[in-house]
Structure 1
Amino acid sequence: MAKSLSVDLRKRVIAAIEAGASCRQAAMRFGVSASSAIRWHRLSKGRGDVTPHMQGGDRRSQRIEGHADAIMGELAKAPDITLADLRGTLAGQGVAVSIAGLWRFFGRRRITLKKRLGMRPNRIAPTS
């Protein structure tokens, strides 16, 4: 993801627009895109500030974290439940969540549910 342009440059573009230049003229003068100048001008009028918002980060985990008690409760009832079964059980309770969302939820808590195949013991080396 590209880095945000500096606040100093944004303020200079806004100052040029407020001094009478059009957004496109100010953008050409400072070497930025016209759409950026227009967006910054709209931000300065609306918020009074042109600082960029934070980029990146997790924006979706808070939805599933709100249902953490229900998820952990279902896991306590059936410790060997699969993610697909857990998703179906939660859907019955009105909680819409994806399997990948559940995977990340358990990953954040370092909960792993390993299923091992039943196999006969090895005579040569121990089976883990």
Structure 2
Amino acid sequence: MSSDLRDRLVAAVVGGMSCRRAAERFGVSAASAIRWRQLFLLHGTPAAKVQGGDRRSTRIEAHAGFLLATVEAQKDVTLVELQAMLAERGTPVGIGTLWRFFARHGITRKKRPATRPSKTVPMS
């Protein structure tokens, strides 16, 4: 639903119309009209809350300095080793969490050194 529809419905209710009557007028369910009015009364706006997104990265971002310094000092450190170091610091995280952390910071982790290009066979 558009924010404009929510605003118009709430304005009608504030203007004296009942929630059920406003719901009929704007073609929405009575439950939606009641919820939008409650949102308006609690928060001052009937706008929807933000959906999705990252809600847990703040826990690992608190250790960003430590992680980045460790990777800089020890170039061949593995994600499993970093996971163990964080667990020792009291922050148990999964490998995927570490992987996403490095992706956000633009750091790639090669598992093996690059091989020389072949002169006889094209590499893809």
| TM-score range normalised by the length of the shorter chain | 0.7 to 0.9
Could you say which residue in structure 2 is the equivalent of 1:115? 111
Q: 1:12 aligns with which of 8, 15, 27?
A: 8
Q: 1:49 aligns with which of 30, 45, 48?
A: 45
Question: What is the one-letter code of the residue matched to 1:68?
Answer: A
Shift of 1:106: 0.8
Shift of 1:26: 2.2
Shift of 1:125: 5.1
Measured in 1, the distance between the counterparts of 2:48 and 2:90 equals 37
Shift of 1:68: 0.2
Q: 1:24 aligns with which of 5, 20, 29?
A: 20
The DSSP-based 3-state class of the residue aligned with 1:50 is: coil
Measured in 2, the distance between the counterparts of 1:27 and 1:64 equals 45
Q: CA RMSD in A?
A: 3.0
Shift of 1:77: 4.3
Q: 2:84 aligns with which of 83, 88, 100?
A: 88
Question: What is the one-letter code of the residue matched to 1:62?
Answer: T
Shift of 1:93: 0.5
Shift of 1:49: 2.1
Q: 1:74 aligns with which of 59, 63, 70?
A: 70
Q: Give the unaligned 5+ runs of structure 1.
A: none
Measured in 1, the distance between the counterparts of 2:112 and 2:122 equals 15
C-alpha distance 47-117 of structure 1, shift in aligned 2 (>3 A): closer
Shift of 1:42: 0.7
The DSSP-based 3-state class of the residue aligned with 2:34 is: helix
Measured in 1, the distance between the counterparts of 2:93 and 2:56 equals 11
Measured in 2, the distance between the counterparts of 1:80 and 1:49 equals 51
